[in-house]
Structure formats: C-alpha cells, structure tokens
Amino acid sequence: MARINLLPWREERRERRRRHFLLGVAAAAALALAAVLVGDRIIGRAIDRQLARNNHVGAQIALLDQRIAKIGELKLHREQLLERMKIIQDLQGNRSTRARVFDQLARSLPDGVYFTDVRMSGQTLSIVGAAESNHRVSDLMRNLDASDWFDTPSLTEVKAAGADNADQMNVFQLTVHQTRPSMEEVGQ
C-alpha cells in the first residue's frame, strides 16, 4: 500500500476552521461592540432629552413659584384695600350718625339743663352738665332713654354747686350708650 499522508489536508481544514471561528468571534465581537456603541448613543440621547425636559420643567416651576408669590402679594394687597374700603364706608356711614347724635342730644335736653362737657369713647357718651333741679336731670334721663339713638342712661353723680339758695345748680355726670336705630325708625 502506498502511503498517503492525509495530515496536511486535515491540518489545512483545521486551520481553515480555526480562521473561520476566529473570524466569527471577531465579527460577533465587532457586532457586539457596535451594538453597545449604538445602545450607548441611544441611551445618551434619551438622557439628554430627559435632562432638557427636566430643565424646562424646573424653569416652569420657578416661573410658577414667582407667580404664586406675586399672587400672595396681590391677595395681601387686596385684603388691605378691602380693609381700607370698609373703613372708608364706615366713616361715610358714620358721618351722618355723629350729626344725628348731636341733634338727638339737643332734642333730649329739657329747659333748665345744659351740658358743660360731652365726650365719646367708642359707643359710650360721658356727659357732664348742670341743671336747675334734680327733676330736670330726671327729665333728661327719661328723654335720653326714649330716644332711638341712645340706650341705658346711667347717672354717675349729682351734687349741688351753688352757695346761695337762689342760684343753686345741680352738677351731674351721666353716661349713655349710643345705639343705631333701624332704618324704619330713622325715616320717622
């Protein structure tokens, strides 16, 4: 038998298979590397887009925070204006009230009585005056109690002020609360 050497053929085939295997591994590695790079690019772009969105949302939040602060300032300013308007309306409404109070004081004053001091603290009037007799002071208190503008007159003090009997005057102090009559009573 002739001797045929099959080794070089097998070695060539082995070498070829090894090259094909290495080429396959290199191609797979290159494809894997390309896939990783493409994936990295895609993920990087997605992160950049999300960061841009986050920055936009943050800017809008800061803008809205400024608007909210301004709205708070405007609400405070509105409350101050409403408070001022209420004060002005109260003053406008009370302007005629003061005149009516003095008018009612004059109407309630009987003959022989005069006031020396009238002070108002809140809704309470303190009146100091002189009268010819205690009966006149009683008339004044009845007149004040009958008025729609006054309530609960209270006599604090009555004393005689004259030395001789002819000119003897009674000095008195009383307090009375101012009330506000209903609109029907004011019209009468």
| Residues 21, 87 share a domain | yes
CATH at residue 172: 3.30.1660
Longest dimension (CA), the chain: 181
Burial class (CB in 10 A: 0-12, 13-18, 19+), 177: middle
pLDDT in tens, 86-145: 988 877 776 677 778 888 888 888 888 988 999 988 788 899 999 988 888 888 888 888
Bigger pLDDT: 167 vs 156: 156
Number of domains forming the structure of the chain:
2
CA 137 from centre of chain: 50
| Residues 123, 76 share a domain | no
Distance CA 116, CA 129 (A): 5
Q: Are 158 and 184 in contact (CB under 8 A)?
A: no
Domain range enclosing 102: 8-108
pLDDT in tens, 165-179: 556 788 999 999 988
| Residues 125, 99 share a domain | no
| Residues 122, 103 share a domain | no
| Residues 103, 12 share a domain | yes
Is residue 3 domain-resident? no
| Residues 143, 101 share a domain | no
Pair of tokens at residue 148: 């729609």
| Residues 99, 28 share a domain | yes
pLDDT in tens, 49-93: 999 999 999 999 999 999 999 999 999 999 999 999 998 887 777
Distance CA 16, CA 22 (A): 10
Q: What is the pLDDT of residue 8?
A: 73
Is residue 2 domain-resident? no
Bigger pLDDT: 51 vs 154: 51
| Residues 98, 117 share a domain | no
| Residues 125, 84 share a domain | no
| Residues 89, 118 share a domain | no
Distance CA 30, CA 131 (A): 121
Q: Residue 162: which pLDDT band, with cuts at 50, 70 and 90?
A: low
Is residue 1 domain-resident? no
| Residues 80, 55 share a domain | yes
